[in-house]
Structure 1
Amino acid sequence: MESLLSISSLEHRHRDTFIHAVTNVLSSPIAEATYTQIVDGLPLADVARDVYHGCVCSTHPLLDKHRELCPGVAEQFQQLRAGFDVATLQMDSQLVHDYQSAPPGSSLFTMRLIELVARAVHQFGVWLYQQDTNHHKNDELGLWRPSETKLRFYPRTYPSTLFCHEWYRDYDQYPEGIADCVGYWAEARIFGGVVLFDRRDPGVVPNAEACTR
């Protein structure tokens, strides 16, 4: 298990830069469109058609009936975002130390800032999902399950959440379980993919054989 440090432990200039960057991302149109769907409880039809691979079959009723967010969801999201304190986020201690030790304006500073922001985007998606705001728990869309014949569409089983990335569905291995699946989905929607960083020593020659395993 990785050791964690709070963002509040950063020196003020590094902390303020991080908070400003995260606030800007969370306020962007694509972030708002992404996170409001998590608050709603189901992805919108156009998003389901756009990004889903093996999660939503053609007979799912949300493809015809979930074209807009539930009433009040946008306002509910704004209230949740306003009450979320970015400074309380817990990050990998080594990453926090690397960011703190990097001179502002340096390439290392920028790279570690981007990595921290990516993790914050993920964690905010996790946190939103854990607020349990699902507006579709007991309605037709939320309770829908495929017929026995349509279950063949799902190689494993019907997913626990439709906020899932095709490469990140094994939620049993994630610290936050299903909520982490939602976080990866949010990353992919906002950044165009799940953000990965190579933390190896820059002087280490990559092992091509190991990379293909």
Structure 2
Amino acid sequence: MQYLAQRRPRVAVEVLDLDHYHPLIRALSNVLSTDLAQVTYAQLIDGLPMVGTAWDMRAYLLFKEHPLVTHDKLCEGAMERAQVFCGTFDPVMLQFDSLVCGNPPPPVNTALDSDMRQVMQRYQDATPGSREFKMRLVELVAAAIHQIAILLFQSDDKLHSKEDIDDVVSWKKESEWVVFSPRHRVLQEYPDPRPTLFYHAAYVDYQQYPHGLADVAGYWAEDRIFGGVAVFDRGVSGTECNDIYFHSGRQDTTFRVWRLLDSQFSELAEFLLSEQPCTPPFPIIASYANKHRHDPWDAIALHHIFRDPWEREVPPTKPDDGRDVRSAGDYPEVDDMFDAVQAAVDRAVDESGEKGKSEE
């Protein structure tokens, strides 16, 4: 069942003291000034993603007959409207959940525990300049970028009509017979379309999201802007910010949840806190150096890595991902294992050669 957002207490950014308020506003402004943020939000204003963006998403279900294929550029005015929106956005519009990230949202008609700490308070409690402060800042910026996407997704002021959007979103490839031989043919059936084209394939459990499909679009926007959905090592308590991970949804990126290098986190924090224009680090993409990774189920079920625990459905046992072969692109430790084996073989050969020489 979808949780009702209006039943959850909200808090505005004005509750922060100046040492925490100004860095948050500056960080949000820096992100909104980037081309990636503006083109991402322009697509939400347009009402449909560009087909190039769709093709760049992992597990995207597109066929050459799909009507989105003709949507190869933004509609006229979308980019200009996004630039104006990002340039004039008032952070006062933002209302953060007062439940600390890490605690599940209450079902409808369930009272809140009075001692639940506010997510804004945890940021407020962090000493400016500390690692905890920067980690909590990233957490709030990600939540803000997500919330802005919700506002745009829910807006009725799109460049495409609702009818046009519904027609494209609901399009489904018809079943067809695939002939393998004169006596062997199979009816190929295709999956039902997703209820929105703005999605990250791992964050589509909209029935349990506070804002339903709008939250799906929010995760999509995070991924397009940052390079992944920002999730955190919450520790045993489920409320900590011990480390930052990304869960990427682009093509040719790992499906696993990967930890940012210290250098990547430092570059991200430096950009967010910069008072002068600087080159954004986005999208931040995993490389071979990002060896600290977890399978998606392991991340949330075993290692408490999430932003909110309801963001993905977690089966009681780890599902079979159908992978018979593990690639080094997803599991860089595979290369390390082969390197170690090869090194052992080389040493054995060298030792054998030295032994032969000594016997002569």
Q: Considering the TM-score relative to the shorter chain, is it more than 0.5?
A: yes
1:195 match: secondary structure: strand
- Listed as ranges, the gaps of 5+ residues in structure 1 are none
Q: Taking every aligned residue pair, what percent have the same amino acid on both sides?
A: 41
Measure how far apart 1:152 and its partner are: 3.6
> Which of 174, 184, 203 is matched with 1:148 structurally?
174
User: Is 1:69 aligned to residue 74 of structure 2?
Assistant: yes
Q: Is the 8 A contact 1:19 1:87 kept in 2?
A: no
> Which of 133, 137, 148 is matched with 2:161 structurally?
137
1:55 maps to which residue? Answer: 61
2:61 match: secondary structure: coil
Q: Is the 8 A contact 1:55 1:162 kept in 2?
A: no
Measure how far apart 1:138 and its partner are: 5.8
Measure how far apart 1:27 and its partner are: 1.3
Q: Closer, same or farther in 2 for the Cα pair 1:25/1:15, shift >3 Å?
A: same
Q: Counterparts in 2 of 1:32-111, with a 5 A limit?
A: 32-63=38-69, 65-93=70-98, 94-111=118-135
Q: Closer, same or farther in 2 for the Cα pair 1:139/1:41, shift >3 Å?
A: same
CA-atom RMSD in angstroms? 2.8
The one-letter amino acid paired with 1:5 is: V
Q: Closer, same or farther in 2 for the Cα pair 1:141/1:199, shift >3 Å?
A: closer
Count of residue pairs the alignment pairs up: 207
2:198 maps to which residue? Answer: 163
User: Is 1:115 aligned to residue 139 of structure 2?
Assistant: yes
Measure how far apart 1:32 and its partner are: 1.0
Structure having the larger proportion of residues in strand? 2
The one-letter amino acid paired with 1:56 is: L
Q: Is the 8 A contact 1:61 1:141 kept in 2?
A: no
> Which of 192, 202, 215 is matched with 1:180 structurally?
215
Q: Which has the higher contact order (CA 8 A, sep 6+)?
A: 1
Measure how far apart 1:49 and its partner are: 0.8
Measure how far apart 1:141 and its partner are: 6.7
Q: Is the 8 A contact 2:54 2:60 kept in 1?
A: no
Quote the Cα distance in structure 2 between the aligned partners of 1:133 and 1:75: 14
The one-letter amino acid paired with 2:13 is: I
The one-letter amino acid paired with 1:153 is: Y
Q: Is the 8 A contact 1:57 1:153 kept in 2?
A: no
The one-letter amino acid paired with 1:70 is: C
1:176 match: secondary structure: coil
Measure how far apart 1:109 and its partner are: 0.6
Structure having the larger proportion of residues in helix? 1
Larger Rg: 2
User: Is 1:20 aligned to residue 26 of structure 2?
Assistant: yes
2:53 match: secondary structure: helix
- Runs ≥4 in structure 1, deviation > 4 angstroms? 138-142
Measure how far apart 1:192 and its partner are: 1.3
User: Is 1:5 aligned to residue 11 of structure 2?
Assistant: yes
The one-letter amino acid paired with 2:48 is: L
Q: Is the 8 A contact 2:200 2:216 kept in 1?
A: yes
Quote the Cα distance in structure 2 between the aligned partners of 1:79 and 1:58: 34
Q: Is the 8 A contact 2:174 2:190 kept in 1?
A: no
TM-score, reference length from structure 1: 0.85
User: Is 1:124 aligned to residue 148 of structure 2?
Assistant: yes
The C-alpha deviation readout for 1:78-118, integer Å capped at 9, x for no partner, is: 33334532134222432211111111111111110010011
Q: Is the 8 A contact 1:56 1:162 kept in 2?
A: no
Quote the Cα distance in structure 2 between the aligned partners of 1:45 and 1:52: 13
Measure how far apart 1:140 and its partner are: 5.9
2:349 maps to which residue? Answer: none
TM-score, reference length from structure 2: 0.52
Q: Closer, same or farther in 2 for the Cα pair 1:138/1:127, shift >3 Å?
A: closer
The one-letter amino acid paired with 1:103 is: T
